[in-house]
DNA sequence: AGCACGCCGACT
DNA sequence: GTCGGCGTGCTC
């Protein structure tokens, strides 16, 4: 090793589970900085993870780094977390690290958001001076007058005249104006915190007793005032100006209202948000505010769990049960579980809240596993709002797709009272498909083994898996018959039936087809709050914690298909969703009612729901899971393999399956290989292999050597494969 | 992953 | 003859 040279261990975005060694003579280089390096015959950007004077690699193979960036991206505690995450989820270290860095830095490490300037008149700028400007320089006068009148934002310059920036330059040369960085004034209407009830106070007091690592589950019915509890805990944690708190929330919940609510509660604290609707540069800006410790409160969706925060001392996870905390592509992490690891590493408390906790968390909490503490809120925070009455409506196979008379009457009653109705359709696996009346042919997707969904008003068929979009044929592909009709209930069809029954009512629909942007969702909430909508028809999106104060009726159609789903989590999800949508009713002063159409009104799920008894149904599910050895009584991983070539996929999955079956006779059970519900997706033939172990340690001790073995398989580069630890959709 | 190398078949 | 298809192997 040359004198003055160091060895850097660098994380690169390549699917090889190791760090790469490079030489550098940069004396100031620090762990966590970005470096550009030659890799093969391309140049890559990577993160310096270790600095050493040793290398296992032949000296003549070691290359020199090209350059390094000043900014330190991750400190050692973040790197420790990322090492752990890479191991836990069996994802290559370099890809794990690189995938959680804001994309903007990767593309252009030196990009900072351009600060907008604000131009101000200096004391010597006066009408007199302006009048003495040369007569011909009308534009200069115009700009000067504007600034004299009031401070001028850079973005407003063009409104005055086209060459305003030249005029500004001139005025600055004449020393008549000054400029400073423009800071958007945020309306900070201080929100006076509501008086807390006894149970809220009790919860807060208990949590505040501990300063060190402790996971808490706050289990409170909808509208029991969980957010106010978070606020109070945050207030306590932010006693110093440099203290930081991380709040993680589900994807759909992050609205400007929430941000405003936090800002109102903490008017003198810096709050930043991190979610997918931000532009890259905004995201980077906010991320940097968190990293340099300026931001006191970081509110983010799942990726937010990887935000560097030097003075983090509390993590809050709202709606802990929400599936959007699990990333399903690339590094398949669960933000809640990563947050647990992070809190443990930092020895700080972590608070999870939900009205319908995930079975896993609930089970851990009530049994104090992993140090978990369980806290329950029994009643709603606002006294006048009581829980809605829940009723089932018996339907049979023939009538289950129709809207029953009781529902129609209920809706009419609300319309008369100027109250609102929400119609919830559990669309999972249920959409209108195109069927041939004479031979029974069904329109399938060409690339996936799924059915095409009918979109009537556009007269098109769409595949909800790959996005394929084709015109509806007027005749059957198989027999040529023209008797094609849509079968099943979709939100559109329900909307049509409702229009027929209530021609005067204002009906809106919320689902994946109507709601691709944040704006439409926000508009919808606005319209609901202005009572511009009478009936809102929608899917799972409706069950995500939004307040609709004028909704007094919630109707659930199509609830049953989850009861006999092959997915063992389907009934947990349905129960949770129904409890959540039920919580949408009667949030204000109006008493709420929930009507559920079902073929099985006596099913335990509906009985528990009617009694608002989460524990009752959860205990039943826990017993089922226990007897079947499912999560949380086992620890699981799912190997997914896909290839355009069926034979290659088959060969690969059967090979690796036989490897693990041989090596894990004692520690784990292996199921499969099997074809998933969607055998073919986007033209790829798919296979799954499911691994189940009685303990976390056993699962990992089986998988770790196996994954290295998989990476040696001759077909590894001919198939797409990945491992999902703690999978959610199996 | 992304790229080069190398081995085959099918073209001006 | 060589162009390009894909299978294989490697990257500090």
Structure tokens belonging to residue A606: 């509906």
Q: Which of the nucleotides lies closest to A19 (Cα–C1')? A: C12
| A712: CB within 7 A of chain B nucleic strand | no
Structure tokens belonging to residue A53: 């004077």
Torsion sign across C-alpha atoms A224, A569, A430, A685: positive
Strand B nucleotides with an atom less than 7 Å from a protein beta carbon: 1-4
Structure tokens belonging to residue A524: 């919808």
d(CA A152, CA A632): 60
Q: Please confirm whether the linkage preceding A632 is cis (ω < 30° from 0).
A: yes
Chain A window 163-182, residues with Cβ within 7 A of nucleic strand C: none
Question: From the CA of A648, how many Å to the C1' of B12?
Answer: 35
Q: Which of the nucleotides lies closest to A714 (Cα–C1')? A: C8
Question: From the CA of A332, how many Å to the C1' of B1?
Answer: 18
d(CA A692, CA A700): 11
| A34: CB within 7 A of chain C nucleic strand | no
pLDDT digits (tens, 9 = 90+) for A403-447: 888 999 999 999 998 888 988 887 654 456 787 777 778 888 877
| A20: CB within 7 A of chain C nucleic strand | yes
pLDDT confidence of residue A488 = 59
Cβ neighbourhood burial of A567 (10 Å; 0-12, 13-18, 19+): middle
| A717: CB within 7 A of chain C nucleic strand | yes
Taking chain A (730 residues) in consecutive chunks of 10 residues, what is each chunk's mean pLDDT?
86 96 93 95 95 91 93 96 98 97 78 72 84 84 84 77 82 84 68 87 94 95 86 93 95 75 91 89 93 96 97 96 94 98 97 96 96 88 70 78 85 90 71 73 79 77 78 80 68 79 86 61 81 84 70 85 76 89 70 88 92 93 92 95 91 94 86 86 90 94 94 91 91
pLDDT confidence of residue A208 = 94
Strand C nucleotides with an atom less than 7 Å from a protein beta carbon: 7-12
Chain position carrying tokens 């600055």: A172
Question: From the CA of A50, how many Å to the C1' of C11?
Answer: 19
What is the DSSP code string of A232-248?
HHHHHHT-STT-EEEEE
d(CA A221, CA A545): 12
d(CA A225, CA A346): 28
pLDDT confidence of residue A180 = 80
A650's enclosing H/E stretch is helix A646-663
pTM of the predicted protein model: 0.86
| A3: CB within 7 A of chain C nucleic strand | no
* H helix count then E strand count, chain A: 21, 32
pLDDT confidence of residue A541 = 67
8 Å CB contact between A537 and A507: yes
Question: From the CA of A40, how many Å to the C1' of B11?
Answer: 33
For residues A273, A279, A280, A286, the Cα torsion angle rounded to the nearest 10 degrees is -20
Q: For helices A138-149 and A164-173, give the axis angle rounded to 10 degrees.
A: 70
| A717: CB within 7 A of chain B nucleic strand | yes
């Amino acid at each position: 090793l040359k004198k003055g040279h160091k060895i850097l261990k660098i994380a690169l975005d390549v699917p090889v589970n190791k760090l790469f060694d490079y030489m550098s003579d940069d004396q100031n280089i620090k762990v966590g900085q970005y470096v550009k390096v030659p890799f093969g015959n391309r140049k890559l950007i990577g993160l310096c993870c270790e600095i050493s004077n040793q290398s296992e690699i032949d000296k003549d193979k070691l290359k020199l780094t090209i350059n390094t960036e000043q900014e330190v991206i991750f400190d050692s505690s973040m790197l420790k977390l990322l090492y752990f995450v890479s191991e836990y989820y069996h994802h290559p270290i370099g890809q794990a690290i690189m995938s959680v860095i804001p994309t903007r830095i990767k593309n252009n490490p030196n990009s900072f958001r351009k600060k907008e300037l604000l131009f101000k008149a200096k004391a010597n700028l006066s009408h007199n001076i302006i009048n003495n400007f040369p007569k011909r320089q009308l534009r200069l006068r115009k700009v000067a007058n504007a600034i004299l009148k009031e401070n001028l934002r850079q973005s407003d310059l063009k409104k005055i005249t086209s060459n305003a920036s030249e005029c500004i330059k001139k005025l600055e040369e004449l020393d008549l104006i000054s400029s400073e960085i423009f800071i958007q004034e945020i309306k900070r209407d201080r929100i006076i915190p509501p008086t807390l009830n006894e149970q809220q106070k009790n919860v807060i007091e208990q949590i505040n007793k501990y300063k060190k690592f402790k996971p808490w589950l706050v289990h409170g019915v909808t509208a029991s005032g969980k957010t106010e509890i978070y606020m109070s805990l945050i207030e306590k944690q932010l006693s110093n100006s440099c203290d930081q708190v991380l709040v993680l929330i589900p994807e759909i919940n992050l609205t400007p209202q929430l941000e405003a609510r936090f800002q109102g509660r903490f008017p003198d604290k810096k709050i930043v948000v991190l979610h997918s609707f931000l532009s890259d540069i905004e995201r980077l800006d906010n991320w940097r505010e968190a990293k340099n410790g300026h931001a006191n409160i970081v509110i983010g969706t799942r990726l937010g769990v990887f935000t560097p925060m030097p003075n983090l001392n509390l993590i809050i996870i709202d709606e802990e049960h929400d599936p959007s905390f699990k990333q399903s592509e690339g590094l398949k992490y669960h933000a809640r579980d990563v947050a647990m690891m992070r809190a443990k590493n930092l020895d700080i408390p972590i608070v999870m809240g939900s009205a319908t906790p995930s079975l896993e968390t609930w089970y851990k909490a009530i049994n104090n596993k992993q140090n978990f503490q369980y806290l329950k809120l029994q009643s709603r925070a606002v006294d006048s709002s009581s829980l809605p009455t829940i009723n089932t409506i018996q339907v049979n196979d023939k009538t289950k797709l129709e809207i029953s008379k009781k529902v129609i009457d209920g809706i009419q009653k609300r319309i008369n009272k100027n109250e609102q109705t929400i119609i919830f359709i559990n669309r999972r696996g249920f959409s209108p498909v195109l069927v041939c009346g004479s031979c029974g042919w069904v329109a399938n997707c060409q690339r996936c083994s799924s059915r095409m969904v009918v979109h009537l008003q556009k007269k098109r068929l769409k595949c909800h898996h790959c996005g394929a979009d084709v015109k509806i044929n007027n005749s059957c592909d198989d027999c040529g018959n023209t008797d094609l009709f849509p079968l099943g209930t979709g939100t559109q069809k329900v909307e049509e039936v409702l229009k027929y029954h209530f021609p005067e009512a204002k009906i809106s629909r919320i689902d994946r087809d109507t709601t691709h942007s944040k704006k439409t969702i926000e508009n919808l909430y606005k319209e609901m709050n202005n009572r511009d909508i009478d009936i809102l028809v929608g899917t799972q999106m409706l069950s995500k914690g939004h307040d609709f104060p004028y909704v007094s009726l919630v109707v659930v159609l199509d609830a049953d298909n989850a009861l006999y789903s092959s997915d063992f989590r389907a009934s947990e999800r349905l129960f949770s969703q129904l409890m959540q949508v039920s919580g949408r009713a009667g949030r204000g002063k109006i008493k709420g009612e929930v009507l559920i159409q079902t073929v099985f009104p006596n099913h335990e799920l509906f009985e528990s729901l009617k009694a608002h008894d989460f524990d009752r149904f959860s205990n039943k599910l826990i017993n089922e899971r226990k007897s079947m050895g499912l999560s949380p009584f086992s620890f699981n991983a799912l190997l997914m393999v896909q290839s355009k070539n069926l034979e290659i996929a088959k060969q690969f999955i059967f090979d690796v399956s036989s490897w693990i079956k041989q090596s894990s006779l004692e520690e784990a059970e292996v199921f499969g290989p099997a074809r998933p519900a969607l055998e073919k997706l986007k033209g790829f033939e798919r296979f799954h292999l499911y691994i189940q172990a009685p303990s976390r340690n056993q699962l990992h001790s089986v998988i770790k050597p196996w994954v290295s073995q998989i990476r040696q398989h001759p077909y590894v580069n001919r198939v797409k494969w990945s491992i999902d630890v703690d999978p959610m959709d199996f």
